[in-house]
Structure 1
Amino acid sequence: MKIALIGAGLIGQSIAHLLRETGDYDVVVFDRDAHALELLEAQGIPTRRVDSADANALRLALQGFDALLNAMPYYLAVTVATAAKAAGVHYFDLTEDVRATHAIREIADNSSHAFMPQCGLAPGFIGIVAHDLAKRFAEVREVKMRVGALPEFPTNALKYNLTWSIDGLINEYCQPCEAIRDGSTQWVQPLEGLEHFSLDGTEYEAFNTSGGLGTLCETLAGKVEMLDYKSVRYPGHRELMKFLLDDLRMSSDRDGLKAMLRRAVPATVQDVVLVFVTATGMRDGRLMQDVFTRKIFAKNICGAPMSAIQITTAGAICAELDLFREGVLPQSGFIRQEQVPLEAFLANRFGRLYEGASTLGVVRQLEAA
């Protein structure tokens, strides 16, 4: 299968290495950053310099490929998806942006090719888990989805390091968030809904952020009383971000905020990804709760060091591409994350990267108090 991968950043590099390692995919990486492409070329990965913001140039470059994987920032998703449709190739991306996903759904209408956005960690894997848990109940009361991409060794006041797209990070902190309350879909504000919990002796906080639910609000509409997604951070992070975004009004100056964070907050590859999903409902006449938790740490993959966020994000989109190639997923139109069977995902060679983690608790049943 011939794959065009657009985006030569850290996640794109990880995807390229994972796919190449299998020998089942012929991967060419597109980007306009010559230096990033040179780094990949030096590792034996074919590249092509293409302007990712030019839909026509991208359409022409896609001739002869079977599928396009988009690892670019969220604001380029619609442009890249439009080029994929014009070129007649299947499309997969990692976007967390709600508006971009709605636009891609329209692009996918009546298409003979597949369009599958949100193929990363959150949205992505987290939605696959939540939907699987929800299906186990005759009546679903509550589904809570919590994900954190965190430094393993926090040292600054934010207790945070840059581990993934800074554009995506700012976007999820600034955009309205979908949720279901009392059976009705609602919009809630980012950085609100603060809660605290502990796991394995470590204290965390969680709060609303945008995009993590993917299309679950629509899929579970009328089937669940309460559904929400929150990002997990170490205590104190949310208060400082709220000060920057609201009190200093940096939410209206995203370029300034991005420059500030890049200047002051170091990146790290020593990170940990926390996945924590709970579902509560009625089963066999009893009120029950199912829980799914994982901790994934940075480690060497394919002979190269990868951060936890690289492993989980790249691993997820590669697993879904694999499942698509094997015919497990629909072969045309818009594909939701919750159409991916959790069992098939975890059994996949890339999905097993989640199983190779420190397992806090496999899916287990707890009787609700």
Structure 2
Amino acid sequence: MTDTNQRIVLASRPVGEPTAANFRVETVAKPVPADGQVLLRNIYLSLDPYMRGRMSDAKSYADPIAVNDVMVGGTVCQVEMSNHPDYAVGEWVLTYQGGWQQYAVTDGQDLVKLGKEPTLPSYALGVLGMPGFTAYVGLLDFGEPKPGETVVVAAATGPVGATVGQIAKIKGCRAVGIAGGAEKCRHAVEVLGFDACIDHKAPDFAEQLAAACADGIDVYFENVGGKVFDTVLPLLNAHARIPLCGLVSQYNATELPAGPDRSGMLMVQLLVKRIKVQGFIIFDGNQHRYPAFAKDMQQWLSEGKIQYREQLEQGLETAPQHLIDLLNGKNFGKVVVQVNQPL
């Protein structure tokens, strides 16, 4: 076994879109666990849009990553060494404290046990983890879908959007996706079971979306913003609900968009149609819903009611470019980077 630990740190804060220069690969000594600690061998690293926000020092719901600190991220790990009575060598765990590195040390308080031989351990970073939980709580608790309603979700083949659309179908709704490109739209309809999926890159995107939502939109699950939201807004029905979990189209912005101030028009729409917009952070007061989510999602997966696509990449050093690509919509499914081979 190696005595070194490869890690990726934030070298500088990006202005606009991140570049490779904002990251630095370092090789340091492998950490050694003290009494009451375990050494984690990070196997899978999750890449998610929220990471762009953590690279900025703008005020937000979470503290920024300090320059020269290890990039944050959820990891699925195995215990390589244990000085803790509750953790055995070889056991699989999930943590959000491991970050972009091959090894990490913890006292165990942040760990979620996944068992000795989980069938698909990386799924704990996707459909069985934070993205799936975000889709479940956001749609069911804040979107409150009712049978027969139309649910629209952007980034429809990403880990959150794909799950939102499939849960909407399970709950008896009509699911319309928005995605970038014909291949993703075909996947949403043919594999995920959406009723329709519209390519936001199409020149007649607005017309296609209006045709697909002939009875209007009752729930719009917002995780993109920008021109997609502008197109959705006039189609929203009275008493529509908008769960808001992200605005990926805005994360690299350095200034307000050009054009007239449209905030007045937006507020009029919200008032006249009595539209409910609810921003939420999944780990902010929603933990009580996790047992129901875990039970339902495991059942839906076993019954084939939920399909899941994972984009598995290799090598920690590739993580910066894959995050940059993700922020530009070049991913197809949940992006996971394999950092180490299992024990």
TM-score normalized by the length of structure 1: 0.30
Task: From the two aligned structures, give the one with the greater helix fraction.
Answer: 1
Larger radius of gyration: 2
With normalisation by structure 2, the TM-score equals: 0.32
